[in-house]
Structure 1
C-alpha cells in the first residue's frame, strides 16, 4: 500500500495581508498529480486543514475541490482535525462525503480504525483529532487528562488495545508537539520553546507508521514517526524549509520504505539585509526582485518611507525591519543628564540627536551646519 502523508494545509491563512488561496490551490493540484504518478492508495491530512475555526466560504470551496480531485485520482483520503480547526465545522458534512473520503473529528472515535485493504490484507488507520485536555477530559472521567502528554498517551492506549485485538498493519495520525522536534522560529505560531506541552516519542510505540501534524517543516523523529510540514511557506522563518509530503510504502510485514516528494514553491521567501541604499541599488539582491521579501535595513537611524521605496524594486516586499548594525554602547546618561551636561547650544542639539537616533550624534558635516545656523541666529539677535 502506498500512502501520502501531508498536513497543515491552513486553508485561508494570509501571508502579511496577502491571500494564499490561489497559491495553495496550485500546490494541491501538483499534489493530486503526484497521487496519479505514484499510484497512491491513501492520502493523509494530519490536522490544521483550515487556518481558523470560522473559515470563509472560499476556503470550503478549495477543500471540497481538493478532496474531490484527490478522490478522482484514485486515492482514499483520511483527514483529521488540528488545533486551528473547528472540529464541528470540519466534520459537519462528513456523513455526506463520497465513499473513500473520511473526516475524523470526534474524540470518541479514537481507537476505532478506518480499515483499508490491499493485496496483503487490511491496514488499520487510527485518526486522533486534536485533543484539548480541558475539552475532552469529561469523556473519560476515570482517566487523569491534565496535559497533551497524558491525553495522547490515553489515545494511543486505546489505539494499541484495539490493534492488539485486530492484529495486522496500522498507521496512526495525530496533531501534537512530539519530543525531539526542532522548534525553529516560524514553524508554528503557538510554539514557544520552554512552554511546550511535549509528547514523548515513546507514546507512539505500536503502529507501523505515525503521521504527525502541527510542525510546519518536515521532521524525522524516527524511521516510523515523522512530520510532513505545511505545503506552503507561511512565515519567513520557514523560508529555507523544503515543501512536500512523505510517500510511505507498506509491504506484507509493515513499513517497507519512506520517500520525500517535493512540492513547488509558488514564490520564494527571502530575507535581505543591508543598508537601505544597498537594498535599493545593489546587484547582489537582483535575484530577490520577484520573491516575497523581508527587508532588514541596517542604517544607524530610521529612514523615511522605507516600504514605499523598497516596493519600487521588490513589488512583493512583505515586511520591513529596521535592524541597525554597530549600535553604540549606552553611556549610562539619560536624556535629561545629557541636556544638563551640554555647555553650548550645539552640544544641546547633539544631545537631542543622540537621544532620537539610537545613540548616533551629529556628524562633522551636521555639526558645521548646526554651528552655522546658531551663528546666523546670534548675528540676527545682535542686529535686532
Structure 2
C-alpha cells in the first residue's frame, strides 16, 4: 500500500498580515497531482487542517476543494484534528464523510477504532490520535491523575495496542498511526503554537513503538525522528525560520511484512523567503539582492539614522516585503534608555529623541522646545 503523509496545512493562515490562501490552494493542488502521479492509495493528514478553530468561509471552501481533489486523484483520506482545529467543527458529519472516503479522527472515543483499508497483502489499520489536551481528555482516557501530554498519549496508544493485539489473533495486521504531538528530538521552527498548558508538552518517541509507521503533525519542518516515525512538516513556510526548509510530503510504501520504504517528494516553492540586511540604499541598489525581488522579504536596515518611509521605498523593489527592522550599527545602544539619559537635562533628552525618530532638529525647533519646557516649569512652580 502506498501512503502520502502530509500535515499542518493551516488553511486560512496569514504571513505577517499577508493572505496566504492562494498560495495554499496552489500547493494543495500540487499534492493532489502527486497523489495521482504516484498512484497513492491513502493520504494521511496529521492535524492542523485549519489555522483557526473557527475558520473563515473562504478557508472552508479551499479545504473542501483540496479534499475533493485528493479523492478524485484516487486516494482515501484519513485526517486528525490538531491543536489549531476545533475537533467538533472538523469532525462534523464525519460518519457521512467516511462514506465518501474521508475519515476524520477528532475524538478520544475514536482512538481505538481504526479505519481498515485492504491491499494485495491484506488489511492495514489506520489509527487517528487527535491533539490531546491533558486537562480535557484524561478522564475519558481512564487516567484522571494525568497532567502531561506523555501520560495521555501513552493511554491513547494503549487503546491502539489493545486493538492491534485483538487483530493479531485474527492473523495479524499492518498499522499506521496519525498523531498531532511534539515528540522529543523534533526541531520546532518557531511558527508552531505551543501545546503546553501548565505541563510538559513533549512525548518520547517510544510512545509510538509497535506500529509500522507513525505519521506526525505539529512541527513544521520535515524530519525523521526514527525511520518509521516522521514529521511531514507544513507544505508552506509559515515563518522566516523555515526559509531553508525543503518542503515536501513523504511517500510511504508498506509491503507484506510492514514498512518497506519512505521517500520525500519535494513541493514547489510558491514564493521564496529572504532575509536581507544592509542600508536602505544598499538594498534598493545592490545587484546581489535581485533574486529576492519576488520573495517575501524580511529586511533589517543598518543605517546610522532611521530612514524616512522605508517600507514604501523597499516595496518599490521588493513588493512582497512583509517585515522591517532598524538596527543602528553598534548593537542599538539607544535601546539602553537609562544609560542614554543619565546626566542629561530635559532639552538634551528631547533633542536626542527627535534625532532618533526624524533627524537632527533645527535651532528654531529647539527654541520652541525651550519655550515649552520653560512654560511647563513655571506652571509646576505655580502649583506648589
TM bucket by the smaller chain? Answer: 0.7 to 0.9
2:326 is aligned with 1:325: no
Query: C-alpha deviations, 1:56-108, integer Å up to 9, x for none?
Result: 11112111111111111111100100000000110112122243210111111
Is residue 125–residue 171 contact of structure 1 (8 Å, CA) maintained in 2?
yes
* Matches of 1:277 and 1:196, distance apart in 2: 47
For residues 196-221 of structure 1, what are the alpha-carbon distances to aligned partners after superposition, in whole Å with 9 as ceiling and x for unaligned?
A: 51101111111011000001110110
Q: Does the 8 Å contact 1:215/1:229 carry over to 2?
A: yes
Name which of structure 1's ranges 105-114 and 321-330 shifts more when overlaid on structure 2.
321-330
Whole-angstrom CA distance in 1 between matches of 2:261 and 2:354: 60
Q: Structure 1, unaligned stretches of length 5 or more?
A: 341-347, 375-384
For 2:146 and 2:126, how far apart are their aligned partners in 1? 24
**Other structure's SS at 2:271 match:** coil
Bigger Cα displacement from structure 2, 68-77 vs 3-12:
68-77
Number of residue pairs the alignment of both structures matches: 357
The answer to whether the aligner puts 1:338 opposite 2:341 as a matched pair is: no
CA-to-aligned-CA distance 1:142-170 (integer Å, 9 cap, x gap): 54321111111111111111111213110
The alignment yields a C-alpha RMSD, in angstroms, of 2.6
2:191 counterpart of 1:190: no
1:101-148 CA distance string (max 9 Å, x none): 101111111111111010001001110011111111231345432111
Report what 1:165 is aligned to.
Answer: 166
CA contact under 8 A between 1:183 and 1:191: conserved in structure 2?
Answer: no
- Indicate yes or no: 2:271 matched with 1:267: yes
Q: 1: CA distance between counterparts of 2:290 and 2:199? A: 40
Match for residue 178 of structure 1?
Answer: 183
1:1-384 to 2 correspondences below 5 Å: 1-97=1-97, 98-167=99-168, 168-186=173-191, 188-190=192-194, 197-327=201-331, 333-339=339-345
- Contact residue 298 and residue 324 of structure 1 kept, 8 A: yes
Q: Does the 8 Å CA contact 2:40/2:75 hold for their aligned counterparts?
A: yes
Instruction: Tell me the alpha carbon deviations over residues 231-266 of structure 1, each in whole angstroms, 9 at most, x when there is no partner.
Output: 111111211111111000000010000000111111
With the length of structure 2 as denominator, give the TM-score of the two structures. 0.86
What is the rounded CA distance, in whole Å, between the counterparts of 1:320 and 1:331 in structure 2? 22
Question: Residues 42 and 78 of structure 1 are in contact (CA less than 8 Å); yes or no, is this contact kept in structure 2?
Answer: yes
Cα distance in 1 for partners of 2:199, 2:92 equals 33
* C-alpha distance in structure 2 between counterparts of 1:327 and 1:150, whole Å: 45
Q: Give the 3 Å change call, closer, same or farther, for CA 357–181 of structure 1 in structure 2.
A: farther
Q: Is the 8 A contact 2:147 2:199 kept in 1?
A: no
Please tell me whether the aligned partners of residues 111 and 126 of structure 1 are also in contact (alpha carbons under 8 angstroms): yes
Q: 1:315 Cα deviation (Å)? A: 0.7
2:112 and 2:159 in contact (8 A); partners too: yes
Q: TM-score scaled by structure 1?
A: 0.86
8 Å CA contact retained: 2:253, 2:260: yes
Q: Report how far residue 284 of structure 1 moved.
A: 1.2
Alpha-carbon shift at residue 356 of structure 1 (Å): 6.4
Structure 1 residues 222, 305: CA separation in 2 closer, same or farther (over 3 Å shift)? same
Q: Which runs of 5+ in 2 are unaligned?
A: 368-384
> How far apart in 2 are the matches of 1:323 and 1:228?
36
**Is the CA contact 1:335–1:352 (under 8 Å) kept in the aligned structure 2?**
no
Q: Distance in 1 between the 2:105 and 2:66 partners?
A: 17
CA–CA distance in 2 between the matches of 1:60 and 1:183? Answer: 27
Shift of 1:328: 6.9
Counterparts of 1:101 and 1:124, CA distance in 2: 15
Between the aligned partners of 1:10 and 1:333, the Cα distance in structure 2 is 44
